[in-house]
Structure 1
Amino acid sequence: MQILVTGGAGFIGSHIVDALLEEGHHVVVVDDLSSGREENLNPAARFYHMDICSSELEGVFRDEKVELVVHHAAQIDVRHSVASPGEDARINIQGLLNLLQNGLRHGLKGFIFASSGGVVYGEPERMPVTEDFPKGPLSPYGVSKLSSEFYLYYYARVHGLPYIALRYGNVYGPRQDPHGEAGVVAIFGQKMLRGETPTIYGDGEQLRDYVYVGDVVRANLLALRKIMNGINLQPVDGIDALAYNIGTGLGTSVNELFRLLADITGYTGRVVYGPERTGELKRIYLDAARAARELDWKPQVDLREGLKRTVAHLAQKL
């Protein structure tokens, strides 16, 4: 297939590009390199240095005859979304609509969307969280992810565009940026390898569902297969019908994550505790039973093994 991967120079997107190329697809990457890196780009993919909101995007759809979009380009900084909700909406909502409108004009056959199981549900009352749990995003970033799923639902029901939304847990692994707020594994790992002191915000008992990037890539490939097979792709029961939690079903505290990484890196220094971040969720981990049933997906890399692979990659970059 002719597949467009937005954000294909980024952490998750670049791994997906590699896997799609290995499966024999023709891959086009659109990335403005605001957070993606040129070193992540696979030379076998055709690269367009472009904002997803650009009017020039139509030329990519036309010239490359794009059949399917895997959408990972986004503004992902929760604190930035709070400070600049308009900018968050421009990138995450207007950018999505630019892709969808151009897709309609040029015969797009399917759309895979990187949503977030960490923000669309808000502060859940029971764990692990299933896809039909009430939604209550607590940041503009979460609102933009949930809004995007509603737009996809509309395009599916009214225009017949098949889609799948993958609600990721906390994705980690090689190529994760240690300089952003979302990459706690990379941040802690790099500091420990350098002998620097990591900071835990709050009491460290916040629970998160850490899922390895290789498992996330596999979820995208299985979603692609489902779309290509055209089975049960009408979301007649609302946005949750074609949404899949991609997580391990296990909650790991930041304190436990620190202990695991310290053991793997050999770090013997201390940790500093900083003030709790406003709006940060106390706990979230995901029930991925639907992905197991309908996509034949289950996580294969446990946390310790995934952390070891991540630390080995970080060590190479020092």
Structure 2
Amino acid sequence: MANNQRTALVTGGAGFIGSHLVDALVARGDSVAVIDDMSTGKSGYLNPAAELYGMDIGDDDVSNVMKAVRPDVVFHVAAQISVSVSAREPKFDAETNILGSLNILDAMNAAGAPKMVFVSTGGAMYGEPETLPAPETLPARPAAPYGASKLAVENYLPVYKMLRGIDYSIIRPANVYGPRQDPHGEAGVVAIFTRAMLAGQPVRIFGDGTDERDYVYVEDVVDALIRASNCPGTGPYNIGSGFGTSVNDIASRLAGLTGYSGEPERLPPRPGDLRRISLDASLAKKDLGWSPTTSLNDGLRQTVDWFRSEMSARA
């Protein structure tokens, strides 16, 4: 199908990952609709070429939107993304991430929408893995309700394929960072540190700063999502760099990019924080032809440049 003939629907399309995805879909000629309740999304991030339907993914009207749009592919990005919120309010997390996802799937079934690309989690799926980088063959051991809710939807997808004929691909991103990120979710440390450093405010590190995460740039994640939409493979597909970077290292790199000279404040470690995680993305390379193209230094530089411009515009 030619690019300009495809219709895509993006849930959460005014948010961090979703807005970058919408930009890429519009750039390749797709017709794009967005469902977003704007609770965390921002109108300034939404591509003007996309049609916005302002509603929650759990709303009954989602079915009417799906029938009106009749998408060729649904990118399900919208979610409750805060691990700490999920731990405090697991029912709220489940209502959004599980019941909201089932509402989208039921609406797809009613409208005859053929495929979902589901944004799951890699950073919160494997717990403290015995093997690093972690492959998809490791057992899923979420340590927070957020990961458990994402895993639940992963388990529903093959059932919906069997009973309703809806195809799917599952993407498990590592810690996504980049322009437009809010300081929430799994990888908020880059946004938090960048904003604090540019504002000359204290930077706080929990624990000794040796905890490692796998950081992947948002545009590389978008590339994986689009590739998955054109691929018959179901996954799940890990999307990450394959190596861990410590919080101390991230703080040091960002200090160099922002000119920050302060010493980080050291706070007690937070219960439940993982010590080390990195993802083996070799299956995505094999099936999707995907590998990350943005180095950590380049990605951090682009992120700092964006935040600097954004904060200057507001000053």
Residue-pair matches, total: 306
Distance 1:111 1:286 in 2: 23
Alignment of 1:302-313 (within 5 A): 302-313=295-306
Alignment of 1:107-256 (within 5 A): 107-178=112-183, 182-226=187-231, 231-232=232-233, 242-256=235-249
Unaligned runs of 5+ in 2: 1-5
Counterpart position of 1:265 = 258
Residue type matched to 1:15 in 2?
H
Specify the SS of the correspondent of 2:126.
coil
Match of 1:283 among 276, 297, 309: 276
Alpha-carbon deviations, 1:131-172, whole Å to 9, x = none? 010111111101001001001121123322111110000000
Report which stretch shifted further, 190-199 or 157-166.
157-166
Partners of 2:119 and 2:173 within 8 A in 1: yes
Distance 2:40 2:268 in 1: 27
Distance 1:276 1:133 in 2: 26
Alpha-carbon deviations, 1:202-226, whole Å to 9, x = none? 1111110000011011101111121
Alpha-carbon deviations, 1:241-293, whole Å to 9, x = none? x2100000010000000111011111111100111111111110000000111
Deviation at 1:180, TM superposition (A): 6.2
Identity %: 48
Counterpart position of 1:86 = 91
Residue type matched to 2:192 in 1?
I
Q: Which runs of 4+ in 1 moved over 3 A?
A: 178-182
Specify the SS of the correspondent of 2:230.
helix
Residue type matched to 2:163 in 1?
V
RMSD: 1.1
TM-score (norm 1): 0.94
Q: Does 1:51 align with 2:44?
A: no
Partners of 2:123 and 2:186 within 8 A in 1: no
Distance 1:297 1:71 in 2: 20
Distance 2:161 2:258 in 1: 47
Counterpart position of 1:69 = 74
